[in-house]
Amino acid sequence: MTLSKSLYTRAIQCPKSLWLKKYNSAVLTPPDAAAQAVFETGNVVGDLACELFPGGREVPYLEKNYVKMVETTRRWMEEGLESIYEATFIYDGIVVLVDILRITPNGVEIYEVKSSTEVKDIYLHDVSIQQYVLEQLGYTVLRAHVIHIDNSYVRGDTLDLNGLFAIVDVSDAVDALQTDIPGHLARFAAYLDDRDHEPAIDIGRHCKNPYECDAKHYCWKVQRDIPDYSIFNIFNLGSKSQMELYGQGIVAIDDIPDDYRMTTIQKHKVDIWKNRTTHIDREQIGAFLDTLTYPIYHLDFETFQQAVPQWRGISPYQQIPFQYSLHIEHADGRLEHREFLAPEGSDPREAVAYRLAADIPTDVTVLAYNMSFEKGVIAKLAEAFPDLSAHLLAINANMRDLIDPFRKLHYVTPDMQGSSSIKQLLPALVPQMEQAYKTLDGIHNGGEAMNAYAAMTGKSEVEREQIRRALLAYCRLDTLAMVKILERLREVTDDRL
Ligand code: SF4
């Protein structure tokens, strides 16, 4: 058996996933742009963390020649280097690359770098297999650490690596995992020895935890035909209840027994689906509409995040707005559109904040969909630009949430499939808008918008212009969709009259 540390942690999550990766990788879903972006962030963060231990050297990566990487590591250790990045070791077919290895006269220290903001349990397994290999090779591992991003850090004029990173000593937890490793390895080897038969491992909570498994489409859809709307999508139904139902052979919502214990909200949504009925509470929707006064400003932001803050006053992974769209509905039925897209390559917050304050007065209804996001973004802008603070906080105070009638179950259709997300709502309520999203060129969701904006720097003027147009078209559609949803709410309350 040959195993890397990433294959080891994959197998800890699910040995079938390891088997598929080795013998039937065609069934795995390739990483999407978001996963690729996470991977690239990991590389940037990893390189930066090495600067916490200056004077070290990085072992050049040779995909087909780990033996050479091991030799380089050994030679540098013999030369007396104190820090080696990507230090490589092989024991019994297990290859580990230690992100940062510190060498002292009494033994070595392991530092595993992660771009997340906390130590997750799976990281301990990651470090444990590194320690196992090193100890089997005869090294004394003095301490083991995880280095992660500290999201309480706020960048000043320069980047302070000691503020950006938190170093957590995980030695005790990693020591405690050592005794189980030979058993795990024997189990994984037994699965891999049987090349002809996939491990008989059923789906479960391990398919999403700690990571969304890349075999999920294969195991869930292809092998078990789990429908898009199933017991696994019921809002807030815990994985224990899900697995209990699954264990009884109940997967489809239609098959849930009428007397199965659920919350009132869950039961309401399940019944809507089972009976294929639409529930509309006109009184409540009317009451919601009564809280909106003209003009109504429909607002939507696009944002991006940086693991390593590039500009002063920004924390790791803070939502940084770079664009917004505003559809303004006037009392006379006029629909006006305003939009803003900050120039790429510099901190966009100030330009966004000033334009927003110029575009939205302090005494108008502002409508957002799932407004906690918009409110959070505006609150951060208010913090960063004190002279605009009163204006921006007034915008927040005037904000209403278009999700309310759906989240509070005043309007539920079977097609919403128990969800109040705008993605689920549009096909059910305003099908023509769903079609409009499909015809967009290049950018169809917030993730794509974020990646496109980040990728603009370094592109030609023609390409940048193309991206700008696609970004504006996408964001404009988001607020237009809100206008259409509100229109639909008015229609159903008009039915009452
Ligand atoms: S989808 Fe679930 S069962 Fe299938 S390989 Fe992944 S974790 Fe294992």
pLDDT average, residue stretch 188-192: 97
In short, whether 201's Cβ falls inside 6 Å of ligand 1 is yes
CB atoms within 10 A of CB 269: 25
Residue 496 has pLDDT above 80, yes or no: no
**SS3 state at 322:** strand
Indicate which residue's Cα is closest to atom 5 of ligand 1: 17
Which pLDDT value is given to residue 35? 85
Q: Which of 190, 176, 173 is nearest to 123 (CA)?
A: 173
**213 CA from centroid of ligand 1 (Å):** 6
Note the pLDDT of residue 236.
87
The per-residue pLDDT for range 466-486, each reduced to its tens digit, is: 999 999 999 999 999 999 999
Residue-range domain boundaries for the chain: 3-192, 205-265, 278-497
237 lines ligand 1 (CB under 6 A): no
Per residue in 380-417, pLDDT tens? 999 999 999 999 999 999 999 999 999 999 999 999 99
Is 41:49 a contact under the CB 8 Å cutoff? Answer: no
Please work out whether the CB of residue 207 comes within 6 Å of at least one atom of ligand 1: yes
Any ligand 1 atom below 6 A from CB of 12: no
**Which residue's alpha carbon is nearest to atom 4 within ligand 1?**
219
CATH number of 278-497: 3.30.420.10
Is pLDDT of 169 > 70?
yes
Closest C-alpha residue for ligand 1 atom 3 = 203
| pLDDT at res. 455 | 85
Domain 3-192: give its CATH architecture. Answer: Alpha-Beta Complex (3.90)
For atom 2 of ligand 1, the residue with the nearest CA is 207
From 25, 28, 29, 206, mutation site for ligand 1 pocket: most ligand atoms within 8 A of C-beta: 206
Q: Which of 27, 198, 201 to mutate to test the pocket of ligand 1 (most atoms within 8 A of CB)?
A: 201
Reading the block at residue 491, the tokens are 């229609």
Q: How far is the CA of 172 from the centre of ligand 1 (A)?
A: 30
Ligand 1 pocket mutation, candidates 207, 208, 232, 242, criterion most atoms within 8 A of CB: 207
pLDDT digit string, tens, across residues 249-272: 999 999 999 999 999 999 999 999
Judge if the beta carbon of residue 327 lies within 6 A of ligand 1. no
Identify the sign of the CA torsion 50, 51, 53, 59: positive
The pLDDT score that the predictor gives to residue 58 is 98
Q: Which atom of ligand 1 is nearest to the CA of 13?
A: 7
pLDDT tens for residues 53-86? 999 999 999 988 999 999 999 999 999 999 999 9
Residue among 320, 308, 299, 356 nearest 453 (CA): 320
What's residue 497's pLDDT? 47
- Distance, in Å, from the CA atom of 496 to the CA atom of 486, rounded to the nearest integer, reads 16
Kindly state the DSSP code that residue 293 receives in the 8-state scheme: -
What atom of ligand 1 comes closest to residue 201's alpha carbon?
A: 3
What pTM did the predictor assign?
A: 0.91
Q: What is the mean pLDDT of residues 184-188?
A: 97
Residue having the nearest C-alpha atom to atom 7 of ligand 1:
207
Binned at pLDDT 50, 70 and 90, residue 330 comes out as very high
How many CA within 13 A on the CB side of residue 414? 9
What percentage of the chain reaches a pLDDT higher than 90?
Answer: 87
- The atom number, within ligand 1, closest to the CA of 15 reads 8
Q: pLDDT digit string (tens) for 133-163?
A: 999 999 999 999 999 999 999 999 999 999 9
Report the share of the chain in percent with pLDDT over 70. 99
* Model pLDDT, residue 437: 85
Which of the four pLDDT bands, split at 50, 70 and 90, describes residue 424?
Answer: confident
Q: Please provide the average confidence, as pLDDT, over all residues in the chain.
A: 95
Q: Is 234 in the pocket of ligand 1 (CB under 6 A)?
A: no
* pLDDT score at 495: 60
Residue-wise pLDDT for 333-343, tens only, equals 999 999 999 99
Q: pLDDT band at residue 451, thresholds of 50, 70 and 90?
A: confident
Phi, psi of 451 (to 5 degrees): -65, -40
pLDDT at 353 over 90: yes
What order of strands is seen across the sheet that includes strand 365-368? 335-341, 320-329, 296-304, 365-368, 399-401
> Which pLDDT does position 433 carry in this prediction?
86
For residue range 101-123, what is the model confidence (pLDDT) as tens digits?
999 999 999 999 999 999 999 99
